[in-house]
Amino acid sequence: MRMAFDQAPAAERPALYRRFAEQIAAPLRMEHRFAESDERKRVAILVSREDHCLSDLLWRWRSGELGAELVGVVSNHPDHAEQVASLGLPYHHVPVGEDRRAAERQALELLGEVDLLVLARYMQILSAEFLREAGAPAINIHHSFLPAFVGADPYARAHERGVKLIGATAHYVTEQLDAGPIIDQDVTRVSHRDEIDDLVGIGRDVERLVLARAVKAHLDDRVLLDGARTIVF
Q: Could you tell me the CA-to-CA distances from 196 to 106, 165, 175, 193, 199 in Å, in that order?
A: 37, 13, 32, 10, 5
Query: Is residue 222 exposed (0-12), middle (13-18) or buried (19+ Cβ within 10 Å)?
Result: middle
Name the nearest CA neighbour of 218 among 111, 113, 74, 116.
116
Write out the catalytic residue numbers: 178
Q: Decide: 145 and 180 in contact? Cβ < 8 Å.
A: no
d(CA 56, CA 65): 11
Using alpha carbons only, give the angle 81, 140, 180 rounded to the nearest 5 degrees.
160
Q: Which residues contact 180 (CB under 8 A, 6 or more apart)?
A: 140, 171, 172, 173, 174
